[in-house]
């Protein structure tokens, strides 16, 4: 954990009165004992209903049944890092652990996040390599697994600690040059490892016709602000990078290694930060979620559960937040074992669910765009509401015929020359197990990318269909997908068909 996180935890622990903590604890107890009706019973199923994946970081020796049961996405915790698989010339070696993980994910219908290609840490034989060698490695790694990797962390942890908003100054970022001295590395004459690595990755993806999406991943970038309301300069710097290199970057990862400080996780703050990245047209993922359980509060995991709930809610409330990944299964097997940051206790395949697990499951089951849970239980009226007497002369109200199949609505976020469309697919009176949505774009409009859906066509009549994790939608429930395009896309009329 970085020093900033530790500092934040220290300040707020002393600031929060015990009464407030007790209130939060009792609210959590009420919520977790009253899950929503017809709720899903696994994280992956509940997440799928809400239109996102729920993943886990894993190692080949921890591929217990729970991995495929609870999770729909897998990130190799260490087995795809350069110190495992890269040779000094950018070739590949020792890929058996990574292969095992990719195969396991595939046979369990899980997405894979490749982690990671360009990183100052765990660089192994690549440490000190030139951009040309990095490019060789990028090509070899992406091509080895191709579209079996849904998302690659192309660049990891490029920004400095302590909220400076600057790039790191050690290798590989020491190769950067600010040619015109204007304080950034975005100009054509500048050298920027981030840009050059993404350009290379994009070339490889396009040349191979791959569906792999390319992500930038970092920590302490989760909220708009840091403790005390100070602007999160690190998040702002990441935003500038994505805005400048939007043509090469498809997705952003917020690692989300949090502590147990109730003040450090503010749903609205995280949600607004996710939203501004989403407005750039990229997918956002919570990629390495874990949250300390600070037992000094004697809240027996309730504070931690509440914090998990807040992070999940922030993601759920933004349609382009398409996945959450926890950084391991169980506390004892985590890189932060002493901080009890995960959703399960136990080990070696025998795991017990914590309060945090139930909070996450419950929040996922509420779906997207639910308001945050009340902090006090609802008051039961002492006098039951009276039923109005029925007038026998009044005809019964018209009944709406049940709609089977599905319907779709679209909302647009447009700017001069471009747009992002969010399409909500809602099942009728019966559950559906797959869907497709057809819509016709005005002349001159072109779809450039889509998330949470397969797409055929890019202009005129365009067809979208569900991906593996969002085809099943319960009666009356919804899932969302999105796409970005150039031109103008007003007046879209989506037609939904259950498949
Ligand atoms: O496999 C060796 C083992 O053979 C040896 O006996 C043992 C002795 O220390 O070390 C083992 O390797 C360790 C490896 O984890 C596998 O357990 C390394 O020492 C240890 O440094 C390594 O830690 C990993 C850490 O990244 C390294 O930076 C953690 O497992 C991993 O969870 C962590 O993941 C990072 C993400 O990649 C990026 N974001 C932060 C996150 C947490 O630090």
Complete DSSP assignment for 113-173 = EEEEEEESSS-GGGTT--HHHHHHHHHHHHHHHGGG-SEEEEEE--B-STT--PBP-STTG
CA of 196 to the centre of ligand 1 (A): 27
Q: Both tokens of residue 378?
A: 């609802």
Using alpha carbons, select from 184, 319, 181, 157 the residue that is nearest to residue 243.
Answer: 184
Closest residue to atom 34 of ligand 1, CA basis: 77
Active-site residue identified among 288, 306, 339, 363: 288
Dihedral in degrees, nearest 10, Cα atoms 158, 161, 163, 165: -30
- Is 389 a residue whose pLDDT tops 60? no
Q: Rounded mean pLDDT of 137-155?
A: 98
Alpha-carbon distance values, 458 to 50, 253, 317 (Å): 26, 27, 27
Q: Which helix (H) or strand (E) holds 328?
A: none
CB of 61 closer than 6 A to ligand 1? no
Q: Are 476 and 427 in contact (CB under 8 A)?
A: yes
Average pLDDT of the chain is 85
% of the chain at pLDDT higher than 70: 81
Nearest-angstrom CA–CA distance, 11 and 489? 48
Closest residue to atom 23 of ligand 1, CA basis: 335
pLDDT of residue 244: 97
- Is 378 a residue whose pLDDT tops 90? no
Nearest-angstrom CA–CA distance, 438 and 326? 35
Longest CA–CA span in the chain (Å) reads 87
CA of 213 to the centre of ligand 1 (A): 25
pLDDT of residue 417: 65
CB of 171 closer than 6 A to ligand 1? no
- Is 298 a residue whose pLDDT tops 90? no
CB of 335 closer than 6 A to ligand 1? yes
Closest residue to atom 35 of ligand 1, CA basis: 77
CB of 288 closer than 6 A to ligand 1? yes
Residues 6+ apart with CB under 8 A from 81: 115, 116, 119, 122, 124
pTM over 0.75: no
Closest residue to atom 2 of ligand 1, CA basis: 78
pLDDT of residue 469: 64
- Residue 246 C-beta-side C-alpha neighbours within 13 Å: 16
Q: Rounded mean pLDDT of 169-198?
A: 97
CA of 153 to the centre of ligand 1 (A): 17
Alpha-carbon distance values, 64 to 60, 148, 219, 247 (Å): 9, 21, 28, 39
Q: Are 155 and 198 in contact (CB under 8 A)?
A: yes
CB of 59 closer than 6 A to ligand 1? no
CB of 136 closer than 6 A to ligand 1? no
Q: Are 307 and 359 in contact (CB under 8 A)?
A: no
Nearest-angstrom CA–CA distance, 122 and 141? 16
Tokens 């950018």 belong to which residue?
90
pLDDT of residue 12: 26
- Is 33 a residue whose pLDDT tops 60? no
Burial category of 374 from C-beta neighbours within 10 Å (exposed 0-12, middle 13-18, buried 19 and up): exposed
CA of 261 to the centre of ligand 1 (A): 25
Q: Which range is least confidently modeled, 99-113, 207-221, 353-367, 485-499?
A: 485-499
Active-site residue identified among 157, 283, 306, 363: 157
333 is catalytic: no
Alpha-carbon distance values, 476 to 209, 365, 428, 479 (Å): 37, 14, 5, 10
Q: Are 103 and 59 in contact (CB under 8 A)?
A: no
Nearest-angstrom CA–CA distance, 330 and 342? 6
- Residue 375 C-beta-side C-alpha neighbours within 13 Å: 9
Ligand 1: which of 2, 58, 78 to mutate, most ligand atoms within 8 Å of CB?
78
Q: Both tokens of residue 389?
A: 């007497």
pLDDT of residue 109: 98
Q: Are 313 and 363 in contact (CB under 8 A)?
A: yes
- Cα dihedral across residues 35, 37, 40, 43: positive or negative: negative
Closest residue to atom 15 of ligand 1, CA basis: 78
Residues 6+ apart with CB under 8 A from 39: 46, 361, 362, 365
CA of 18 to the centre of ligand 1 (A): 36
CA of 55 to the centre of ligand 1 (A): 19
339 is catalytic: no
Helices (H), 345-393: 355-366
Minimum-distance ligand 1 atom for the alpha carbon of 328: 32
Cα distance from N-terminal residue to C-terminal residue, the chain = 46
Minimum-distance ligand 1 atom for the alpha carbon of 81: 37
CB of 260 closer than 6 A to ligand 1? no
pLDDT of residue 239: 97
% of the chain at pLDDT higher than 90: 69
Alpha-carbon distance values, 329 to 66, 71, 303 (Å): 9, 10, 19
CB of 122 closer than 6 A to ligand 1? yes
Tokens 């497709």 belong to which residue?
436
Coil/strand/helix, residue 48: helix
Q: Rounded mean pLDDT of 427-431?
A: 90
Q: Rounded mean pLDDT of 211-216?
A: 98
pLDDT tens by residue, 68-95: 999 999 999 999 999 999 999 999 999 9
CB of 287 closer than 6 A to ligand 1? no
Using alpha carbons, select from 267, 262, 270 the residue that is nearest to residue 302.
Answer: 262
| Chain-centre distance for alpha carbon 443 | 33
Q: Rounded mean pLDDT of 403-423?
A: 74
Q: Which range is least confidently modeled, 74-88, 293-307, 333-347, 397-411?
A: 397-411
pLDDT band at 476 (very low <50, low <70, confident <90, very high): confident
pLDDT band at 330 (very low <50, low <70, confident <90, very high): very high
pLDDT of residue 262: 57
- Is 27 a residue whose pLDDT tops 70? no
Q: Rounded mean pLDDT of 47-74?
A: 98
Using alpha carbons, select from 349, 471, 473 the residue that is nearest to residue 68.
Answer: 349
Q: Rounded mean pLDDT of 261-272?
A: 84
Nearest-angstrom CA–CA distance, 428 and 441? 25
- Is 133 a residue whose pLDDT tops 80? yes
Using alpha carbons, select from 314, 309, 340, 313 the residue that is nearest to residue 327.
Answer: 340
Coil/strand/helix, residue 297: helix
């Amino acid at each position: 954990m970085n020093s900033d996180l530790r500092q934040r935890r220290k300040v707020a622990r002393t600031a929060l009165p015990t009464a407030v903590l007790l209130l939060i604890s009792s609210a959590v107890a009420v919520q977790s004992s009253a899950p929503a009706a017809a709720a899903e019973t696994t994280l992956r199923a509940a997440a799928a209903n809400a239109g996102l994946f729920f993943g886990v970081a894993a190692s080949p020796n921890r591929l217990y049944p729970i991995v495929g049961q609870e999770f729909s996405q897998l990130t190799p915790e260490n087995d795809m890092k350069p110190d495992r698989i890269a040779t000094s010339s950018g070739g590949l070696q020792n890929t058996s652990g990574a292969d095992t993980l990719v195969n396991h994910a595939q046979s369990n219908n899980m997405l894979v996040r490749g982690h990671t290609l360009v990183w100052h840490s765990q660089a192994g034989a690549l440490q000190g390599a030139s951009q040309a060698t990095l490019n060789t490695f990028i090509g070899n790694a992406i091509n080895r697994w191709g579209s079996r990797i849904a998302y690659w962390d192309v660049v990891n942890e490029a920004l400095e600690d302590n909220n400076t908003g600057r790039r790191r100054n050690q290798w590989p970022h020491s190769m950067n040059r600010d040619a015109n001295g204007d304080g950034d590395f975005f100009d054509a004459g500048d050298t920027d490892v981030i840009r050059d690595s993404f350009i290379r990755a994009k070339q490889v993806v396009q040349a191979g016709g791959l569906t792999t999406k390319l992500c930038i991943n970092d920590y302490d970038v989760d909220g708009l602000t840091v403790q005390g309301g100070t602007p999160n300069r690190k998040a702002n710097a990441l935003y500038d990078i994505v805005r400048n290199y939007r043509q090469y970057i498809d997705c952003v990862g917020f690692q989300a290694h949090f502590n147990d400080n109730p003040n450090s996780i503010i749903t609205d703050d995280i949600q607004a930060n996710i939203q501004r990245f989403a407005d750039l047209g990229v997918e956002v993922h919570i990629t390495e979620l874990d949250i300390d359980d600070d037992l000094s509060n004697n809240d027996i995991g309730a504070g931690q559960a509440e914090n998990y709930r807040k992070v999940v809610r922030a993601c759920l409330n933004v349609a382009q937040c398409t996945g959450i990944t926890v950084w391991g299964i169980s506390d004892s097997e985590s890189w932060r074992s002493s901080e009890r940051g995960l959703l399960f206790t136990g080990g070696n395949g025998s795991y017990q669910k914590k309060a945090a697990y139930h909070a996450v499951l419950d929040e996922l089951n509420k779906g997207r765009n639910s308001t945050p849970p009340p902090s006090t239980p609802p008051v039961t009226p002492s006098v039951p509401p009276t039923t109005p007497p029925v007038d026998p002369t009044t005809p019964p109200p018209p009944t709406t015929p049940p709609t089977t199949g599905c319907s779709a609505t679209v909302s647009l976020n447009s700017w001069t020359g471009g747009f992002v469309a969010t399409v909500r697919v809602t099942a009728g009176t019966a559950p559906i197990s797959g869907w497709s949505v057809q819509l016709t774009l005005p002349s001159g409009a072109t779809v450039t990318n889509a998330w949470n859906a397969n797409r055929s066509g890019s202009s005129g009549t365009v067809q979208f269909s569900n991906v593996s994790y969002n085809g099943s939608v319960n009666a009356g429930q919804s899932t969302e997908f999105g796409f970005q395009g150039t031109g103008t896309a007003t007046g879209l009329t989506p037609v939904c068909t259950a498949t």
